[in-house]
Amino acid sequence: MNAALAILAVTFAVAVALGLAARRGHVMNLEQWSVGGRAFGTVFVFLLMAGEIYTTFTFLGGSGWAYGKGGPALYILCYGAIAYSWSYFLLPIIWRYAREKKLVSQADFFVAKYDSNALGVLVALVSVAALVPYLVLQLKGLGIIVSEASYGRVPSTAAVWAGAGALTLYVIVSGVRGSAWTAALKDVMILGVALVLGIYLPFHYYGGYGAMFEAIDRAKPGFLTLPASGMSPSWFISTVLLTATGFYMWPQFFAGAYTAKREDVFRKNAVILPLYQLVILFVFFVGFAAILQVPGLEGADGDLSLFRIAEQTFSPATVGVIGAAGLLTALVPGSMILLTGATILAQNVYRPMASVASDRGVTLLARSLVGVIALASVWLTLRGGEAIVPLLLMGYNMVTQLFPALFFSLPERPMVSTAAAAAGILAGEATVAYLSLSGASVATLLPWAPQVVKDLNVGIVALIVNFAVLGVVGAITRAPRAPALAPGQSPER
Amino acid sequence: MPESPAPAPDRTTTGTRLRRYHWLTAVPTIILLGGIPFVNRVHPMILGLPLLIAWILLWVVVISGVMGFVLYLDRAHARDGDGR
C-alpha cells in the first residue's frame, strides 16, 4: 500500500517540478504564457495535440465503455484519426492567420476574421461554458484515480484539492510550457501502462486476444458489435463525424495550434497522430479483459474496471504506477483547460470592455483568473453529482457549434457576414441547450422516421439548425467586404 | 510585446493550395465509416480480433499511410518549385 502511495506522491512532485521548471529562460508576457511564443517544434505540438486522446475520460471512460458497452466504444478509435487527417488542411490555415495577427486565443480568431469584438465575447462565453465541465470531469477523474490507486488512503476530496492547487501553481508560473513539459512525462507513462496492461491482461487471463474475445462473445452474444438499434451503425457513423467536427473546436486545441514554430509541424503530426491514438485500443483491451474477471460493475462504476482488474492482478507498486499515469492524464488536459479559459476571459471579455487595457494588465488578469477558475471547478467537482457527464456531452456539442462560423471564415475574407456567423452560433447553442435539457433524441423528434434516421446522434440536429440559420441570415446580410483588419494590426489592441 | 522570431521560410510544404490528389485523404475515411454496417460482426476474427475491431484498425493505419503519402507528394511539389 505504501509503495503505491509513494509512487503517486513522487510522480505528483515530479510533474509539479517539471511544470514549474518549464518557465526557465522565458519572460512571461501574454504571447509567451498562452502560446509559448509560437516557438514549439514537432514534439511539443505533438504532445499538446495528443492531449485530447489521453484525458481521464479516455483512461477511465475508455476502459469503462469497453467494459460496459462493448462495440460502441470503438467510435473513440475513429474520430481522433479522422480529425487528425483533417488537421493536415485546417491547422496550417489557422496557424498562419494567427501568427500574422498575433492571436492568443480561439475567440481572437473570430474577432479578427469577422472584425467584431462582440462575436469574440460570444465565442468566449461558449468556450468557457464548455471548458469548465471538462475541467470538472478531469478533477473528478483525478479524485477517483488517486483514491483507487492509494487503496483509499488518500480521500478523493484531498486529491482534488491537491491536484487543482498544483495545476493553478504551475499554470500561473509557466503557462503553456508547463502543460507541454508535463505532457512529455504523461505520454511516456501512459504509453507504457496502456501497452503493458493491454497486452499482459488478455494473455494472463485468457491466453491471448482470440481466446478472450471468443469467451466474451460466448458469454455476451452481440456485445462486441453494434446493436441493431440505439447505438447502431447509423449512431456510430454520425457520432464519429460529429465528434471529429468538434475536435478542433475545443478552444485549448485550437489555441494549442498557435504554439507551433512552423506549419509543417501539423502535417507531420497528421501522419503520426492517427497511429499514436491507436494505443487507446489497448485501454479497451483492459476493459474487455475485465468483463469476465471483475464482473458486476454497473453503470458509472464501469469506469473503475481498469483499477479493479489491476488491483486484482498486480502488486500495490504496479497499481501505484498505473495511478500515477492516470494522475497525469488529469493534470495535463486540466492545465490546458485552465490556461485557455483564463486567457479567453482576460483577452476576449475583459480587454474589449476595459477602456484602457495594457498587455501587462491582461496578462496579470489572465494569471489571476487561473486561480478563480480552478476554485470554481473544485467547488463544482465536490458539490456536483453525476450531473457533470451530461454537461460535458453538452460542452462537446456546444463547441461543435463554432464550426460553421469558423469554416466560412477560412478563405482570406469570411464568406458570410458577422451577423450570420453570430446568428448561426446562437441558434446552434439554443438548440443544444434545448436538446440537452429536454433529453430529446432524433427518435423522439421524428417518431415516424426509419430506424436508421432515429439512431442518428442528436447533435446533428443542432448543427443543421446552425447551418440553416447561418445560411438564411447570410443571404440577407452582406459579408464584410474589406479585409477585416489591416495586416499586422492585432485585434483590439 | 516583443516580436515573435521572424517567420522561417517554409519550403517543405506547398502552402494552402489544394491539389487534386488531396482528395485521396478522404478515401480511407469514407471506406472506414461506409463499411461499418457490413463488418458489424465478430467472426471471422482477424489476428484474434473481432472483425469490427480489425476493420477499424486497418483503416486507421491506412489513414496514416495516405496522409504520409500526400505529405510526400506535397514536399516533392514544393521542391520542384511549383508549390507556391
pLDDT at B14: 46
Task: Check if A223 contacts B (Cβ < 8 Å).
Answer: no
List, run by run, the mean pLDDT of 10-residue segments along chain A (493 residues): 81 83 77 78 80 75 87 90 92 90 89 90 91 87 85 85 87 81 86 91 92 92 89 91 90 86 87 90 92 84 86 88 88 88 86 77 84 87 69 84 92 86 92 84 84 86 92 80 49 43
Residues of B in contact with A84 (CB under 8 A): 63, 67
Question: Is the model's pLDDT at B32 over the cut of 90?
Answer: yes
pLDDT at B65: 95
CA A281/CA A388 separation, integer angstroms: 26
CA A345/CA A337 separation, integer angstroms: 12
Which of the two residues, A411 and B79, has the higher pLDDT score?
A411
Task: Check if A357 contacts B (Cβ < 8 Å).
Answer: no
A-chain residue closest to B5, CA distance: A39
pLDDT at A171: 83
Tell me how crowded residue A413 is: count the other CB atoms within 10 A of its CB. 13
Contact check, Cβ <8 Å, A271/B71 = yes
CA A357/CA A184 separation, integer angstroms: 35
Q: pTM above the 0.90 mark?
A: no
Q: Which residues contact A182 (CB under 8 A, 6 or more apart)?
A: A15, A18, A19, A22, A170, A328, A331, A332, A335
| Cell, residue B33 | 465509416
Residues of B in contact with A262 (CB under 8 A): 8, 10, 12
B-chain residue closest to A80, CA distance: B60
| Cell, residue A314 | 498486480
ipTM above 0.95, yes or no: no
B-chain residue closest to A212, CA distance: B48
**Hey, what domains does chain A have and what are their CATH numbers?**
3-388 (1.20.1730.10)
CA B47/CA A285 separation, integer angstroms: 14
CA B27/CA A214 separation, integer angstroms: 32
Contact check, Cβ <8 Å, B57/A278 = yes
A54-72: string of b/e by CB count within 10 Å (b at 16+)?
bbbbbbbbbbbbbbbbbbb
Question: Is the model's pLDDT at B8 over the cut of 70?
Answer: no
Per-residue pLDDT band at B36 (split at 50, 70, 90): very high
Contact check, Cβ <8 Å, A272/B25 = no
pLDDT at A169: 87
Q: Is B46:A213 a contact under the CB 8 Å cutoff? A: no
CA A31 to chain centre: 22
CA B82/CA B61 separation, integer angstroms: 30
pLDDT at A328: 87
Q: A391: helix, coil or strand?
A: helix
Q: Is A290:A270 a contact under the CB 8 Å cutoff? A: no
**Which residue type occupies A23?**
R
- CA of B80 to nearest chain A CA: how many angstroms apart? 17
Task: Check if A410 contacts B (Cβ < 8 Å).
Answer: no
Task: Return the closest-CA partner of residue A139 out of A199, A56, A196, A205.
Answer: A56
Range from A458-472, B28-42, B69-83 carrying the lowest mean pLDDT: B69-83
**Which residue type occupies A490?**
S
CA A261/CA A96 separation, integer angstroms: 10
